[in-house]
Amino acid sequence: MTESSPVSPAGDMANGRTLAVEADDPALSSPFVLELLVHINAMDRFGLYEGRAPEWLLDHFILTKERKRALPLVGNPDQRTINRLTAFYNAVASLIERHSGLMAAPVIRLSAEGFGRVLIVVGKLVVADRSLRDVHRFGFRSLAKLQDEGDKLVGDALKWIRDYPDVAAL
């Protein structure tokens, strides 16, 4: 199977593993997952993902027990992993912006070893602050967990904005 050919939801990926995301997964239609797909596609500068099924694009975010076990305990994140991390937090910021009407900016500071911090700033207000470690193992157990984490970050940020609107508007 060539890199540019579409992969069926139950088919193999380029590395021979079966997809962990099913085509009928209800999380595929959630606002957060749809926004994440927008950001994944936006980062595809060369059109490599064109024609790919959403399940295939999102499968890279899923770390089943077997996939996690196959990863080393210590390692440096590769560019694909950093792109997934960036797409995830860009999607969070984008939904915060859409719901609040205020510009939200993600700030990601990451060392070569995979340690760092993510801030999402609205005006002068930090609405999300996450420490990062072991970024080479960035992923979620399931698409539902990914959706829950994204929704939680967005919901918490919107609460901060409601509590401190003057700071967020600066």
Q: What is the separation of C-alpha 152 from the centre of its chain, rounded to a whole number of angstroms? A: 13
Q: Is 91 exposed, middle or buried (0-12, 13-18, 19+ CB in 10 A)?
A: buried
What string of pLDDT tens digits covers the 170 residues of the chain? 334 333 333 334 445 568 888 888 889 999 999 999 999 999 988 888 888 999 999 999 999 888 888 888 888 899 999 999 999 999 999 999 999 999 999 999 999 988 999 999 999 999 999 999 999 989 999 999 999 999 999 999 999 999 999 999 99
pLDDT at 5: 37
**Whether 136 contacts 130, CB under 8 Å:** no
Report yes or no: 114 and 76 within 8 Å, Cβ to Cβ. Answer: yes
CA 64-70-74 angle, to 5 degrees, is 110
Are 81 and 110 in contact, with CB atoms under 8 Å apart? no
State the pTM of this model. 0.86
Q: Residue 118: which of 127, 106, 126, 100 has the closest Cα?
A: 106
Please, which residues bridge with residue 126 across strands? 121
- Asked if 75 and 115 touch (Cβ cutoff 8 Å), the reply is no
3-state secondary structure of 62: strand
> Phi/psi at 98 (nearest 5 deg)?
-65, -40
